[in-house]
């Protein structure tokens, strides 16, 4: 598969290997993005893997209709995880562990017979005071290396009401595509992982979160 696939968000199509940063405001906006994106994947028969930041959101996604229109829960097509078992497994965030999580997930999907994967991560976990969250931006940069090698599209969800402008700027710099207000902004000049890590080898999380409640 080389042509664009429906994103499920408006009329936007995504080419395989896309790593899109999606900005939203508030839970309702997030749920709309998640439902559209994953719903399109389930309809198309894609393997869908998502990490959401609350059990309530996980429960909501569990009721999405599957590939044949049957009601959830699914038998393997949609994997729903929480940060505690993914981004923050072991109590801290490490880029390598998380990249391994995604690559193993995609390899497993291939073994299961899926030809395409659709990944999504709700990034508000990074607002927690956990070790390693300062490597968020470098992780996002490294993820580009992974996505370019697999039949996959990846959506990273950032809540504008909770992340600072500095994070927004750095996330935009490290994502080839940014989805905002229903517009997909291409960034052909995004800073690739090699360049990013060379220019900011110790790149910290650019700013403290606006809301430290998460």
Binding interface with another protein (CB under 8 A): 23, 160, 164-170, 172-173, 178, 180-181, 183, 185, 187, 189-191, 195, 199, 206-207, 210
CB of 77 to another protein, least distance (A): 33
Closest CA to 21 of 120, 97, 96, 117: 120
Minimum CB separation of residue 183 from another protein in Å reads: 7
Q: How far apart are CA 136 and CA 149, in angstroms?
A: 21
Nearer to another protein, 54 or 164 (CB): 164
What is the H or E stretch that residue 22 is in? strand 19-24
Nearer Cβ to another protein, position 104 or 161? 161
What SS3 state is found at 154?
Answer: strand
Retrieve residue 145's tokens: 């290396």
Cβ neighbours around 131 below 10 Å, total: 12
CB of 80 to another protein, least distance (A): 29
Please, which residue, 130 or 207, has the CB nearer to another protein?
Answer: 207
Instruction: Identify which of residues 146 and 168 has a Cβ nearer to another protein in the complex.
Output: 168
Which strand ranges, in their side-by-side order, compose the sheet holding 78-81?
78-81, 47-51, 117-122, 152-159, 19-24, 177-180, 183-186
Nearest-approach distance from CB 194 to another protein, in angstroms: 11
Distance CA 164, CA 162 (A): 7
- Residue 6 host element (H or E): strand 5-6
Of 116 and 196, the one with the shorter C-beta distance to another protein is 196
Closest contact distance (angstroms) between CB of 180 and another protein is: 5
């Amino acid at each position: 598969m080389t042509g664009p696939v429906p994103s499920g968000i408006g009329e936007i199509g995504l080419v395989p290997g896309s790593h899109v940063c999606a900005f939203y405001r508030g839970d309702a906006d997030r749920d709309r993005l998640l439902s559209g994106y994953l719903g399109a994947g389930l309809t198309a028969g894609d393997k869908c893997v998502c990490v959401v930041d609350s059990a309530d959101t996980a429960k909501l996604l569990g009721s999405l209709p599957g590939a044949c229109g049957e009601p959830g829960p699914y038998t393997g097509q949609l994997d729903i995880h929480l940060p505690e078992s993914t981004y923050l497994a072991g109590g801290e965030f490490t880029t390598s562990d998380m990249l391994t999580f995604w690559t193993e997930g995609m390899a497993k999907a291939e073994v299961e017979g899926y030809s395409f994967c659709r990944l999504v991560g709700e990034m508000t976990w990074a607002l927690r005071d956990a070790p390693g969250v300062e490597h968020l931006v470098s992780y996002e940069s490294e993820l580009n290396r992974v996505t370019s090698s697999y039949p996959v599209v990846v959506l990273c969800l950032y809540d504008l009401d909770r992340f600072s402008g500095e994070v927004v700027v750095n996330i935009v710099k490290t994502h080839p595509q940014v989805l905002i207000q229903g517009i997909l902004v291409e960034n052909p000049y995004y800073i690739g992982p090699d360049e990013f890590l060379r220019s900011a080898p110790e790149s910290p999380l650019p700013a403290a979160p606006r809301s430290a409640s998460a």
